Structure 1
Amino acid sequence: MSSDAKQHITSPRPAPIPLPVHRPAPLSLPTEYHRLRTEQPVARLAFPDGPPGWLVTRYDDVRACLADPRLSSKNPHRYAHLRSGLATPTRADPSRSAELLTSDPPEHTRFRSLVVRQFTTRRMKQLTPRIQAIVDDHLDALASAPRPADLIQTVALPVPSLVISELLGVPFADRDFYYRLTRQLLSLSRTREQLRDDKAEMKVYLLSLVKARREEPADDVLGGLVQAQANGTPITDDEIATLGQLLLIAGHETTANAIGLAVLLLLQPPRLWDKLVQRPDLIDGYIEETLRYATVLQFGLLRVAREPLAIGGQAIEAGERVVLHVPSANRDAALFTNPDQLDPQRPNADRHLSFGHGPHHCLGEQLARIELRTVLTTLLRRFPDLRLAAASEEIRHHHDRLVHGVTELPVDFGEVPCH
């Protein structure tokens, strides 16, 4: 370590601050992040349990940290910075299966290689006609639903749920079961014991699907993992189930909330919906801008320093926890001009970090983009006069969950459109 870094470590450290979580408006970030990026981009962060760590808020620092092998994804609990009830003892449960989000290379590389072939750009393009058919079916249901209709329950949630169910090999008929467990696993109101029971219930369910795939092979992700195991690939049933849980939850929950927020942002004043009806060529850029502006993973990603390092000029000791605040990075004025303004023609919107960066870059980013594009383009074409059926300030957001979104999105429209 350099003498400068040693000097940082031995000098007095600033008092830790709690994680800023209060939003002045549902689609605004806590105002504290603007000050932190400007004055204290690597801030001392208080943790509900255990010693303080660090909060990183600037784009360049967050991006660099996401790719830095000195910051480990292995930690007692990846949400320990949020509340004490979620923190777990320092010594991890040896029976807990490692998975993509909480493993490092080479273990992470092994897991990722097992599923990455299912999410190639070529495979996603092959899925596009099926995704379009699913969207058409659910927009037919929206057209015939009693009005005002809830866009979340009729379109935004079931579309990605059905897509990931078919891709993964999970019966869509079981959606109420895994919707419930997903809500509970992402909730900040669950105790450690409740989360343990939720995970166990999900694992039992997914292990039953693994057994079914062994008895009746199928061309889906679970079937492919079971076949790989049979061919000698070193992966256990528990690991297959753990991978399945991550793909199932991430594959429907994050995209569903991104769809809901994208439509809300278009329909609320100044009603950009009408502009995109006339300019469908702006949709891809708008999708990237929505992913930047309304980052759904709202509380940051937790890492642990493997060794001493410096972040943004601040020395970090080995073993200290570091929270990388992606929503704050996506609002950094150093990269994004007028970052708190939604601009569907922002030229560099695609530089957002909403899908991560580095080894843990989101496997499903292309699938999410295809789903968003298909839903939005088809909605704009079939429902050009779609409108909110409630004032935008009356739309309820769920801020007590790890994924930001709206609980419901009541909409109305004029004459029922033809398919």
Structure 2
Amino acid sequence: MENRCPVVLDTTGRDIHAEGARIRERGPVARVELPGGVEGWSVTGYEMAKQVLSDPRFVKDPQKWPAFAAGEIPSNWPLIGWLLMDNMTTNDGDDHMRLRKLIQRGFTTRQVEATRPLIENIVRDLLDRLADTPPGEVVDLKGRFATPLPARVICDMFGVPESARAAALRGAGVNVSTSITGDEAEANVEQWHRELYELAELKRRTPGEDLTSLLLAAREADGTHLSDEEMVGTLHLMLGAGSETLMNALSHAVLALLTQPDQRELLVRGKVSWDDVIEETLRVQAPVAQLPLRFATEDVTLGDVVVRRGDPVLMGFAAVGRDPEVHGASAGEFDAARADKTHLSFGHGVHFCLGAPLARLELKIALPALFERFPDLSLAVAPEELEPQGTFIMNGHKELPVRLGEPAPAGA
């Protein structure tokens, strides 16, 4: 009965976890209302999420959404950017595998490990700049460290020129916002598409030793390659996912250690590792709160509800990681010593995140380096004063105000 009255998703993302809990109270799959009065479903149960993520009856192709295919979804729908990208996340079956195989070449174990010196150099540079901060000054660690680190890494990997970086990353930031107007969303899609098309054209004329050039040159055995739209869509995906998600994971890991001294002490005493901190952060603070969109290709029974053919489905990853059926009564608490840190924050099944090893490597390099350089790092405001990011898609804060304390000598 409750599922007939959907939970209206808060476009400002004021309290991601309270909203996730409210949805879960109605069951592991429950009705929600998206902007524009569009009704769909959110999956918040761990086992149900695994089932949906591996079920071929739930597809990513927006043409399988009858309302979109029939032109009933306006071009200025606030989430329109998630429907217009042509890349491996909006394709299924053979097309998805073709695109994934081409892109995978840049994310092999060897390729990811080869980025270690790049990540280390960027971390060192950012920490050196922070060390120049006047004593006692409040610093936005998200703006000065958590955001520029993954942005610089992914832009370097894809050969984005300095002059084009702000525009490329701005488009990604706007795309994940749900508190903008539909007209702003539509304008962003057009502008971002144009800017990334120009980047692809630049790389086509002057290729380099970067992943954009590699993708432009890649050919399948039968001679097929990325079309212009697929190339732009792939840049949409990699620049956006490669920056927006990691900055939230990094910020949340820092916040957890600053607000829970006992957890930091476990690290110091060697009772937990940085890997433990990273995995627990990904579990309890999934960087993506509600991932759009999948579509049912037929009526599908999930537990005691029926998702009808064409219904849009969001994956409520922020709630999935806190499922009490998996993690018990303490599911919403950060505990790096927790034995079971099971999560789906990088997805599951054929659409599992290609960038997961790179994200983990960045976190494993950045976090210890930050706390070694600034051992007296502290939060400058009460945790409840932190402002949300302004979206129900992402799980993050606008800023992370800190006091750095006295920096340790570089390389100490």
TM-score (norm 2): 0.87
Where 1:303 maps in the other structure, the secondary structure is strand
In 1, the alpha carbon distance for the partners of 2:150 and 2:333 equals 28
Where 1:335 maps in the other structure, the secondary structure is helix
Per the TM alignment, residue 237 of structure 1 is displaced from its structure 2 partner at its CA by: 1.9
Per the TM alignment, residue 62 of structure 1 is displaced from its structure 2 partner at its CA by: 0.8
Per the TM alignment, residue 54 of structure 1 is displaced from its structure 2 partner at its CA by: 3.2
The alignment covers a number of residue pairs equal to 396
Deviates more, 1:55-64 or 1:309-318: 309-318
Alignment partner, residue 283 of structure 1: 274
Alignment partner, residue 69 of structure 1: 56
Counterpart residue type for residue 191 of structure 2:
E
Alignment partner, residue 124 of structure 2: 136
In 2, the alpha carbon distance for the partners of 1:325 and 1:335 equals 15
> Is the contact made by 2:379 and 2:403 (CA closer than 8 Å) also made in structure 1?
yes
Counterpart residue type for residue 71 of structure 1:
F
Where 1:106 maps in the other structure, the secondary structure is helix
Counterpart residue type for residue 224 of structure 1:
L
Q: Work out which of the residue numbers 291, 297, 301 in structure 2 matches 1:306.
A: 297
Q: 1:77 and 1:269, CA in 2 relative to 1: closer, same or farther beyond 3 A?
A: farther
In 1, the alpha carbon distance for the partners of 2:274 and 2:367 equals 8
Deviates more, 1:352-361 or 1:233-242: 233-242
Per the TM alignment, residue 204 of structure 1 is displaced from its structure 2 partner at its CA by: 1.8
> Is the contact made by 1:16 and 1:52 (CA closer than 8 Å) also made in structure 2?
no
Counterpart residue type for residue 388 of structure 1:
L
Where 1:302 maps in the other structure, the secondary structure is strand
RMSD: 2.9
Matching of residue 193 in structure 1 with residue 174 in structure 2: no
Where 2:381 maps in the other structure, the secondary structure is coil
Structure-to-structure mapping, 1:10-409, within 5 angstroms: 14-19=3-8, 21=10, 30-36=20-26, 40-47=27-34, 49=36, 52-75=39-62, 85-86=77-78, 96=84, 98-146=86-134, 147-228=137-218, 232-270=223-261, 272-279=263-270, 281-337=272-328, 338-349=330-341, 351-400=342-391, 402-409=393-400
The runs of 5 or more residues in structure 2 that have no matched partner are: none
Deviates more, 1:314-323 or 1:16-25: 16-25
In 2, the alpha carbon distance for the partners of 1:174 and 1:188 equals 24
Where 1:304 maps in the other structure, the secondary structure is strand
> Is the contact made by 2:151 and 2:169 (CA closer than 8 Å) also made in structure 1?
no
Q: 1:33 and 1:339, CA in 2 relative to 1: closer, same or farther beyond 3 A?
A: farther
Where 1:310 maps in the other structure, the secondary structure is strand
The runs of 5 or more residues in structure 1 that have no matched partner are: 1-11
Q: 1:26 and 1:329, CA in 2 relative to 1: closer, same or farther beyond 3 A?
A: closer
Counterpart residue type for residue 149 of structure 2:
V
In 1, the alpha carbon distance for the partners of 2:39 and 2:113 equals 45
Q: 1:289 and 1:229, CA in 2 relative to 1: closer, same or farther beyond 3 A?
A: same
> Is the contact made by 1:267 and 1:387 (CA closer than 8 Å) also made in structure 2?
yes
In 2, the alpha carbon distance for the partners of 1:343 and 1:260 equals 16
Per the TM alignment, residue 229 of structure 1 is displaced from its structure 2 partner at its CA by: 5.6
Per the TM alignment, residue 293 of structure 1 is displaced from its structure 2 partner at its CA by: 0.6
> Is the contact made by 2:52 and 2:58 (CA closer than 8 Å) also made in structure 1?
yes
In 2, the alpha carbon distance for the partners of 1:47 and 1:406 equals 21
In 1, the alpha carbon distance for the partners of 2:17 and 2:123 equals 26
Listed one character per residue, the Cα deviations across residues 109-166 of structure 1 (whole Å, up to 9, x for unaligned) are 1111111111122211121122111111111111112322221122111111110011
> Is the contact made by 2:289 and 2:318 (CA closer than 8 Å) also made in structure 1?
yes
Deviates more, 1:302-311 or 1:14-23: 14-23
In 2, the alpha carbon distance for the partners of 1:158 and 1:313 equals 45
In 2, the alpha carbon distance for the partners of 1:297 and 1:122 equals 27
> Is the contact made by 1:301 and 1:325 (CA closer than 8 Å) also made in structure 2?
no
> Is the contact made by 2:24 and 2:30 (CA closer than 8 Å) also made in structure 1?
no
Per the TM alignment, residue 66 of structure 1 is displaced from its structure 2 partner at its CA by: 0.4
Q: 1:228 and 1:336, CA in 2 relative to 1: closer, same or farther beyond 3 A?
A: same
TM-score (norm 1): 0.85
Alignment partner, residue 8 of structure 1: none
> Is the contact made by 1:144 and 1:416 (CA closer than 8 Å) also made in structure 2?
no
Listed one character per residue, the Cα deviations across residues 35-66 of structure 1 (whole Å, up to 9, x for unaligned) are 23xxx333344455577443332110111100
Per the TM alignment, residue 240 of structure 1 is displaced from its structure 2 partner at its CA by: 0.8
Q: Work out which of the residue numbers 399, 406, 409 in structure 2 matches 1:415.
A: 406
In 2, the alpha carbon distance for the partners of 1:319 and 1:369 equals 35
